[in-house]
Amino acid sequence: MKSVAREGLREVTEMRTHDAGMLRREHAGSEVRLAGFVQRRRDLGGVIFIDLRDRSGIAQLVFRQDISAPSLELADRLRSEYVVCVTGRVVVREAHAINPKIATGEIEVEVTALEILNAAKTPPFLLEDGIDVDEMVRLRYRYLDLRRPEMQRTFRLRHQVMQLVRQFLDARQFIEVETPMLTRSTPEGARDYLVPSRVHPGEFYALPQSPQLFKQLLMVGGFERYFQIVRCFRDEDLRADRQPEFTQIDIETSFLTQAELMSMMESMVAHMVQETLGVTVSLPFQRIPYQEAMARFGSDKPDLRFGMELCDVAPVVKNASFKVFADVLAKGGEVKALVAPGCGSFSRKEIDDLGKFAARYRAKGLAWMVVEETGVRSAIAKFFTEEELSAIVAHTGAKVGDLILFIADQKKVVADALGALRSHLGKQLGLIDESVLAFAWITDFPLVSYDEEASRFVAEHHPFTMPRVEDVPLLDTDPGRVRAQAYDMVLNGYEIGGGSMRIYQRDVQEKMFQTLGFTMEDARSQFGFLLDAFEYGTPPHGGIAFGLDRIIMILAGQSSLRDVIAFPKTASGTDVMVMAPSPVEKKQLETLHLELALETEAAQK
Amino acid sequence: MKSVAREGLREVTEMRTHDAGMLRREHAGSEVRLAGFVQRRRDLGGVIFIDLRDRSGIAQLVFRQDISAPSLELADRLRSEYVVCVTGRVVVREAHAINPKIATGEIEVEVTALEILNAAKTPPFLLEDGIDVDEMVRLRYRYLDLRRPEMQRTFRLRHQVMQLVRQFLDARQFIEVETPMLTRSTPEGARDYLVPSRVHPGEFYALPQSPQLFKQLLMVGGFERYFQIVRCFRDEDLRADRQPEFTQIDIETSFLTQAELMSMMESMVAHMVQETLGVTVSLPFQRIPYQEAMARFGSDKPDLRFGMELCDVAPVVKNASFKVFADVLAKGGEVKALVAPGCGSFSRKEIDDLGKFAARYRAKGLAWMVVEETGVRSAIAKFFTEEELSAIVAHTGAKVGDLILFIADQKKVVADALGALRSHLGKQLGLIDESVLAFAWITDFPLVSYDEEASRFVAEHHPFTMPRVEDVPLLDTDPGRVRAQAYDMVLNGYEIGGGSMRIYQRDVQEKMFQTLGFTMEDARSQFGFLLDAFEYGTPPHGGIAFGLDRIIMILAGQSSLRDVIAFPKTASGTDVMVMAPSPVEKKQLETLHLELALETEAAQK
């Protein structure tokens, strides 16, 4: 190792012969060169011990008066996070000094030469797992946060998942094709991020919300099996679990049936889980039609790690004298119940809190009954006969000590509120086995839904989704009842992927646009190229897109997408490390043929 | 196969049991189901032959009166590019019908059932290789252009290269980390594409020109070995070989020396070439310092497939009485020559054309001499003695019949003009063996160069490039002479990758910013986070970025980047298929706090 004229500035020669974390008893006697960060320093009676950390793990360095003499003074200056390069000899530790907790615990490295490659200030927080630090501080010093072992593990997992997906698809003749990032703004769905053009004054590119049209055009182009792990963008109001840019595993196939595609995709996900977590998932995943999922779980992304299914109590309450239930049913609404096991002991306040929780989902009221040895206790018990109460208890399957919760409302409110209550209670009551990965497919989504505000039908998935063949006649009479050839993959209460078979014929696509209230002129101006493409021999095709960030979040056991994205944005879309977005020079805007239109002059630069 | 209620709209059942191009003699007797495009149809005395094309190749379908009866009428309606699904039996062709030119030439499929999945209009151009079609038409119908075999091959090659690179790096403990696309505008280098923020009025994200800062921060974050195949953006005036968005194989490492990194990278490229083209490249690549490359080839990306090196003739002309040469040398310029073998027979017009060519590179004149049996023929011969002429011929190594070309000018003009002449003549004279892949590293680039317009030094690579240690003192006295720890990989006259070791200490980085004329305030406001990061223990690090598009272009034998990008932009940055960029609604701009500032009202929407 060459010495340096100027500390830390060196024409570098080889800095490392071994990874620190890989040293074992069999290396004893070897001369090694290691490089990495100082994890900690201890000084025991003139002997200095350093835990040296590199990406592979930790090795203990020891500086002794005799052999390390030339470096001892330098070693005394080492502090946490200093970057060093050392030469030394691997020795087996004395029996009492062996540390079985670390992989290199049987050895240490007696240092003969030390070079400080870089010094370090004291980090603003401890670089270890389980820290309780304001997330803004972690994000501002992201380059330090990333040194923490759990972050290193998360991004290695993310890397591994990406490679596994690619290998799986490559082995099945999929090819990865890159689609444009600078593309065209489309009116449907979420807001686009726009990119002004310098060369074409007054015109804009849009960043893709997904490569949907391009992947369909690749099928028209005869590629048959396409994938891409691709960045997508949505300028939405951000919630805790959204990011303005996110990564999609994007897939499209030709000449495969929906069943063939779903089967291949669940194998891919099972393979990913097997190889990363060592968990074997049984195949095929259960298929649950959308209507069934909504009926049983009040959700199209049910958490299947626990039961507590919704129960339609209309048959046992419709003839009772409780007017609230009867009225709702008479108006075409629903009355459904949820049995909270063992919650008969809930206080009035606890039950009221559940009512407030349900109100967030627009439920006007939450009725309840407690099943006791002696009968049913409830504020509404008086509106029912003993026989009716027994029938309700029997119908819901509630047992003594259970709490039955009722919501009577429009179908959607009942599903949303009871579905949310189910998830809430599932967590609160500890019904969820965190070690389980509960996968399922939700199928047969509605093709369109009526948007009251826009006074028209809007696509539930996107306007290129194929209806189920037997439902096509309904497009003319009752579009809301048409089922789509669309499917979501769900895992533990999250949607992790969604896809559909696509319309591949121009006349069907035109009919779909009509259903959505597009004039043919609108359709042509937005999607003319796709309608054109459909005239030149488009194969039957369909695909899916998985949310990579969400998948990694679940597999890594994290609760925030920000913990699985290397440089994430905050909830206001800000990168607090580089400080983006930021004001730009006026002349940059001039070049782009733009002026700011700010409400206050003061905000202008 | 289920029959359809409505032609082409079907609840799809399995469409394919075999890939058409994979059928062989051993499949004879099997019942198969195939799906794909009609390549062509021939009708021979009531027997219809169809070439069915799918991604794997072509198989011949035959419809005979007897066995194909129910489908015969439908088969008669087939035209090129129709999409079909057929059931039939593989049979061995009669001996006279065997076609050795195609992989499936020994068999054909006797069709028993045919379904037309989709019809097709006649494509606007032939979907085959070697077509001579206006590129605008190809781009407008890109989804058809992509069906051509050479396009399919190119994108399969591109896919293969991407997977090979990832596997190579994965095996060497690199991990793939995704860096942000919505980031901060920086003032150096090419123009950024800006993305207005809706949430932060008057502020903008920028699309990355490269993930440079983020990859360095990943090294600060302890990842040690990072890679990403990543989209980058430059809003430059586009030339034939530029695209506004392009793909980079982006790599960064810690604790490796420049030599170690270069060695690993050339192995990666050699592996890529071996696996895709079956070409063995010998390692290590030759290393040519920048100054030497400029001196010998007049280029920092020399085409090494042929010789024809530049020759410095100053030693043999400096004392001659030819004033033009002497004056240039006296003023510190250069006089260099290029020998064009066998070009002594060039006409005056041919030589004049070379002079015009050189003038494009700002050369004020191109002198020449022809070596003949009897001596030197030249308009400037009279300014030299016989001895001087002989010395010139001997010094340049020219032989009888050769043409010697001279440029006397400032160093940079001489290099540019003679370098360009060398490439031009190399191609014109057929000196280039197209089957050769000539790799090299160019090293020791200048760290900075003086920008007359800006009256300051600017970074040649980028401001984070490490100077060579022995040249550091020159930063204070003669920055233009400082060599950088920077290296480019060149192939056949193209730069395919470029990288450097990075400055990793805050004080060196600050010194570099000073050299570039940044005030510390500028530096802090632009790169404060990086300067901060350098204080918390930054390892020595360095990396490289390869231009994937360029590499694929060379490996695929294409001459335009547009032929290796699935959906490229034209020279004006337009996607002529989807028509992007495009005007957007006024309310979209309002949401983004922007107004158009167009020169003419008429241009406004």
B52-86 confidence digits (pLDDT tens): 999 999 999 999 988 888 889 999 999 999 999 99
Predicted local confidence at residue B522, as pLDDT: 83
Strand order in A175-176's β-sheet? Answer: A175-176, A225-233, A245-254, A541-547, A494-501, A486-491, A439-443, A286-289
Pairing of strands A107-118, A57-63: parallel
pLDDT band at A261 (very low <50, low <70, confident <90, very high): very high
Domain locations along chain A: 20-118, 306-432
Residue A193 has pLDDT above 70, yes or no: yes
Report the alpha-carbon distance of residue B207 to residue B180 in Å, rounded. Answer: 9
Beta bridge partners, A287, equal A441
Inter-chain CB proximity B599 and A201 less than 8 Å: yes
The residue ranking higher by pLDDT, B547 or A603, is B547
Report the alpha-carbon distance of residue B444 to residue B487 in Å, rounded. Answer: 7
Inter-chain CB proximity B146 and A82 less than 8 Å: no
Q: Note the pLDDT tens digit of each residue in A208-234.
A: 999 999 999 999 999 999 999 999 999
Inter-chain CB proximity B12 and A257 less than 8 Å: yes
Evaluate whether B426 touches B432 at the Cβ level (below 8 Å).
Answer: yes
3-state secondary structure of B154: helix
**DSSP code, position A558:** -
Q: Note the pLDDT tens digit of each residue in B491-533.
A: 999 999 999 999 998 888 888 988 998 888 888 888 888 888 9
Inter-chain CB proximity A204 and B535 less than 8 Å: no
Nearest CA in chain A to B145: A221
CA A65 to the chain's CA centroid: 53
Report the alpha-carbon distance of residue A501 to residue A512 in Å, rounded. Answer: 14
Predicted local confidence at residue A279, as pLDDT: 95
Q: Note the pLDDT tens digit of each residue in A453-479.
A: 888 898 888 889 999 989 988 999 999
Shortest distance, CA B175 to any CA of chain A (angstroms): 6
Evaluate whether B71 touches B112 at the Cβ level (below 8 Å).
Answer: yes
CATH code: domain B306-432 is: 3.30.1360.30
Shortest distance, CA B277 to any CA of chain A (angstroms): 18
**Which pTM value belongs to this model?**
0.94
Contacts of B508 in chain A (CB under 8 A): 9
The partner residue sitting opposite A15, judged by closest CB among B192, B200, B255, is B255
Residue A602 has pLDDT above 60, yes or no: no
The partner residue sitting opposite A120, judged by closest CB among B123, B536, B584, is B536
CA distances for A327 relative to A323, A391, A409, B379, angstroms: 6, 20, 10, 110
Query: Which residue is it, tokens 């890989």?
Result: A22
Nearest CA in chain B to A11: B469
Predicted local confidence at residue B4, as pLDDT: 32
Residue A435 has pLDDT above 50, yes or no: yes
Q: Note the pLDDT tens digit of each residue in B280-299.
A: 999 999 999 999 999 999 99
Shortest distance, CA B403 to any CA of chain A (angstroms): 45
3-state secondary structure of B61: strand
Predicted local confidence at residue A187, as pLDDT: 67
Residues of each annotated binding site of B:
188, 234-236, 243, 461, 495, 502, 547-550
Nearest CA in chain A to B78: A537
Residue A248 has pLDDT above 80, yes or no: yes
Inter-chain CB proximity A537 and B163 less than 8 Å: no
Inter-chain CB proximity A255 and B198 less than 8 Å: no
Nearest CA in chain A to B595: A595
Report the alpha-carbon distance of residue B590 to residue B592 in Å, rounded. Answer: 5
Nearest CA in chain A to B176: A159
Report the alpha-carbon distance of residue B124 to residue B144 in Å, rounded. Answer: 9
Predicted local confidence at residue A1, as pLDDT: 34
pLDDT band at B600 (very low <50, low <70, confident <90, very high): low
Predicted local confidence at residue A5, as pLDDT: 35
- φ/ψ of residue B229, rounded to 5: -100, 105
Residue A65 has pLDDT above 60, yes or no: yes
pLDDT band at A189 (very low <50, low <70, confident <90, very high): low
Predicted local confidence at residue A3, as pLDDT: 32
Q: Note the pLDDT tens digit of each residue in A525-580.
A: 888 888 889 999 999 999 999 999 999 999 999 989 999 999 999 999 999 999 99
- φ/ψ of residue A423, rounded to 5: -60, -45
Predicted local confidence at residue A188, as pLDDT: 58
Pairing of strands A286-289, A439-443: parallel
Q: Give the relative orientation of helices A258-277 and A548-555 as an angle to the nearest 10 degrees.
A: 40
Give the tokens for residue B423. Answer: 């490439």
CB pairs under 8 A between A and B: 414
pLDDT band at A2 (very low <50, low <70, confident <90, very high): very low
Pairing of strands B494-501, B486-491: antiparallel
Q: Which stretches of B137-224 are assigned E, i.e. beta strand? A: 175-176, 194-196, 204-206
Closest CA to B81 of B119, B43, B136: B119
Residue B219 has pLDDT above 90, yes or no: yes
What average pLDDT score do residues A298-318 get?
96
Q: Note the pLDDT tens digit of each residue in A486-517.
A: 999 999 999 999 999 999 988 888 889 889 98
Q: Which stretches of A363-506 are assigned E, i.e. beta strand? A: 367-372, 375-377, 403-409, 439-443, 448-451, 456-459, 486-491, 494-501
Predicted local confidence at residue B601, as pLDDT: 47
Residue A593 is assigned to a ligand binding site = no
H or E stretch covering B63: strand B57-63
What average pLDDT score do residues B238-255 get?
90
What average pLDDT score do residues B124-134 get?
92
Residues 6+ apart with CB under 8 A from B114: B63, B68, B71, B74, B75, B84, B85, B86
CA distances for B518 relative to A143, B476, B527, angstroms: 24, 15, 11
Please give the full DSSP string across A197-222, using - where no structure is assigned: -SSSTT-EEE--S--HHHHHHHHHTT
ipTM for this prediction: 0.93
Q: Note the pLDDT tens digit of each residue in A119-161.
A: 999 999 999 998 899 999 999 999 999 999 999 999 999 999 9
Give the tokens for residue A213. Answer: 């049209």
Report the alpha-carbon distance of residue A251 to residue A225 in Å, rounded. Answer: 8
Give the tokens for residue A376. Answer: 């049913």
Q: Kindly report the number of other CB atoms within 10 A of residue A112's CB atom.
A: 16
What average pLDDT score do residues B331-336 get?
96
Average model confidence (pLDDT) for chain B?
Answer: 93
- Quote the percentage of chain B above a pLDDT of 90: 82
Residue A13 has pLDDT above 80, yes or no: no
Contacts of A182 in chain B (CB under 8 A): 193, 233, 244-245, 569, 573, 575, 580-581
H or E stretch covering B389: helix B386-396
Residue A301 has pLDDT above 80, yes or no: yes
What average pLDDT score do residues B331-348 get?
96
Predicted local confidence at residue B67, as pLDDT: 86
Report the alpha-carbon distance of residue B343 to residue B347 in Å, rounded. Answer: 9
Residues of each annotated binding site of B for L-aspartate:
188, 234, 461, 502
Report the alpha-carbon distance of residue B225 to residue B140 in Å, rounded. Answer: 41
Residue type, position A455, single letter: S
Q: Which CATH class is domain A20-118?
A: mainly beta
Predicted local confidence at residue B332, as pLDDT: 94
Residue A6 has pLDDT above 80, yes or no: no
